[in-house]
């Protein structure tokens, strides 16, 4: 009987979490936009890989921790039209809960007028949700050791789509993730919600060596309030960028991006929490390493302000 009550309680907790949990947020979103929109796939001139790690609310027990790897490349180019192909693996943990996603992306890029290009992309894969019972304390309830380490896993399909309009000095993006809003089998009233994202960014040349790069991101998840994010970066000599960022209801951030080597870029973001969590955990750290096979100075492609 006690075992049954424990399982029911855990299932209810999973159901509540899956319904409310939003997808992962990144502070340095312009350098991680492939994680938001599959239409970005293939935007770089050659094979590129990125590895990222985000530790949210450092010092808060059970705080979210995220790691990801994405790889993408262009192929089949005819003049300015080409295809993009890539994949992304993302692992997210928050307290006893966790999820792992594997998504394959495809995009087609075509040349428009006045220097613009337009791409449409789709991402298809799956997300595995899991819960470790070892991280939950239930007074007066004895949990069988066989199920004590993990209840098991729940797998849900993932379908994302997006559009990406860009030219050398600006970009516009629209993406919808979890398009099919799959229901989690076995859990009543549990459904993954669509995530809508609008993006906009510019690259404004202030002098021969300085570019100003403002960008905005608007996110909306069904039955929740929209969130608005903004950042402003100054790029010096196409080598180092520094800036600030903010997100409604959360706080501010400091950003830095460095082209450390011809094939390597390092991006770091430091968040200062301004909501109620500031009393328990004030800091969030995010670091991204980018590797480009043809080097960072390659320009034989349709440029995009999000990357160049």
Question: Percent of the chain beyond pLDDT 70?
Answer: 74
Kindly state the average pLDDT of the residues 55-81: 85
- Of the candidates 13, 65, 17, 29, the one whose C-alpha atom is nearest the C-alpha of residue 227 is 29
pLDDT at 180: 87
pLDDT: which is higher, 301 or 82: 82
Long-range contacts of 20-25 (CB under 8 A, 24+ apart): 21/94, 21/97, 22/195, 22/219, 22/221, 22/224, 23/177, 23/178, 23/195, 24/54, 24/64, 24/66, 24/68, 24/90, 24/92, 25/219, 25/247
Query: DSSP letters of 230-270?
Result: EEEEEEETTTEEEEEEEETTTEEEEEEEEEEETTEEEEEEE
Kindly state the average pLDDT of the residues 207-236: 92
Read off the pLDDT of residues 254-284 as tens digits, 9 standing for 90 and up. Answer: 999 999 888 999 999 998 876 555 444 468 8
pLDDT: which is higher, 138 or 106: 106
Burial class (CB in 10 A: 0-12, 13-18, 19+), 1: exposed
- Of the candidates 173, 168, 169, the one whose C-alpha atom is nearest the C-alpha of residue 212 is 169
102 pLDDT above the threshold of 50 = yes
Kindly state the average pLDDT of the residues 66-91: 94
pLDDT: which is higher, 207 or 224: 207
Give the distance from CA 76 to its chain's centroid: 27
149 pLDDT above the threshold of 50 = no
Kindly state the average pLDDT of the residues 158-164: 96
242 pLDDT above the threshold of 80 = yes
pLDDT at 9: 38
CB 255 within 8 A of CB 245: yes
Question: Percent of the chain beyond pLDDT 90?
Answer: 50
Structure tokens of 292?
């480009």
What is the spatial distance between Cα 28 and Cα 257, in angstroms, rounded to a whole number?
A: 9
Kindly state the average pLDDT of the residues 73-81: 91
74 pLDDT above the threshold of 60 = yes
pLDDT at 68: 96
- Of the candidates 181, 209, 211, the one whose C-alpha atom is nearest the C-alpha of residue 30 is 211
Least confidently predicted of 193-207, 215-229, 294-308: 294-308
150 pLDDT above the threshold of 80 = no
Long-range contacts of 93-97 (CB under 8 A, 24+ apart): 93/64, 93/65, 93/66, 94/21, 94/62, 94/63, 94/64, 94/65, 95/62, 95/135, 96/62, 96/131, 96/132, 96/133, 96/134, 96/135, 96/136, 97/14, 97/17, 97/21, 97/129, 97/130, 97/131
168 pLDDT above the threshold of 60 = yes
23 Cβ partners below 8 Å, 6+ apart?
177, 178, 195
Kindly state the average pLDDT of the residues 169-190: 81
Kindly state the average pLDDT of the residues 68-90: 94
267-306 exposure pattern, b = at least 16 Cβ within 10 A, e = fewer:
bebbbebeeebeeeebebebebebebeeebeeeebbbbbb
Q: DSSP class of residue 23?
A: P
Q: How many CB atoms lie under 10 A from the CB of residue 229?
A: 21
Among 4-13, 141-150, 239-248, name the most confident range.
239-248
pLDDT: which is higher, 44 or 10: 44
Question: Given pLDDT bands bounded at 50, 70 and 90, which one contains residue 146?
Answer: very low
CATH of 2-292, one of 2.40.160.40, 1.20.210.10, 3.40.50.300, 3.30.70.1350: 2.40.160.40
The residue assigned the tokens 């993932």 is: 158
pLDDT at 84: 97
To the nearest whole number, what is the mean pLDDT of the chain?
81
């Amino acid at each position: 009987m006690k075992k049954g009550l424990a399982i029911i309680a855990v299932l209810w907790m999973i159901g509540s979490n899956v319904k409310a949990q939003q997808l992962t947020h990144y502070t340095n979103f312009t350098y991680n936009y492939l994680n938001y929109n599959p239409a970005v796939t293939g935007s770089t001139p050659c094979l590129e890989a990125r590895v990222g790690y985000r530790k949210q609310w450092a010092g808060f027990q059970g705080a979210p921790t995220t790691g990801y790897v994405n790889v993408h490349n262009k192929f089949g180019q005819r003049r300015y039209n080409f295809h993009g192909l890539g994949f992304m693996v993302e692992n997210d943990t928050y307290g006893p809960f966790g999820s792992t996603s594997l998504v394959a992306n495809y995009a087609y890029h075509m040349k428009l007028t006045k220097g613009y290009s337009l791409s449409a992309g789709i991402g298809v894969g799956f997300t595995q949700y899991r819960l470790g019972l070892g991280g939950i304390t239930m007074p007066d309830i004895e949990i069988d050791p066989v199920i004590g380490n993990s209840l098991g896993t729940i797998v849900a399909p993932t379908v994302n789509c997006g559009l990406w309009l860009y030219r050398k000095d600006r970009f516009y993006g629209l993406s919808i993730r979890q398009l099919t809003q799959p229901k989690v089998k076995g859990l009543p009233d549990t459904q993954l919600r669509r995530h809508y994202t609008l993006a906009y960014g510019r690259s404004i040349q202030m002098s021969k060596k300085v570019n100003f790069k403002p960008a905005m991101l608007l996110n909306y998840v069904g039955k929740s309030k929209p969130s608005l994010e903004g950042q402003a970066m100054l790029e010096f000599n196409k080598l180092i960028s520094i800036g600030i960022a903010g997100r409604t209801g959360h706080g501010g951030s400091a950003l830095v991006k460095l082209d450390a080597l011809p094939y390597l870029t390092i991006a770091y973001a430091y968040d200062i929490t301004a909501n109620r969590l500031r009393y328990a955990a004030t800091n969030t750290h995010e670091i991204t390493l980018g590797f480009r096979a043809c080097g960072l100075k390659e320009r034989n492609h349709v440029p995009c302000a999000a990357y160049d």
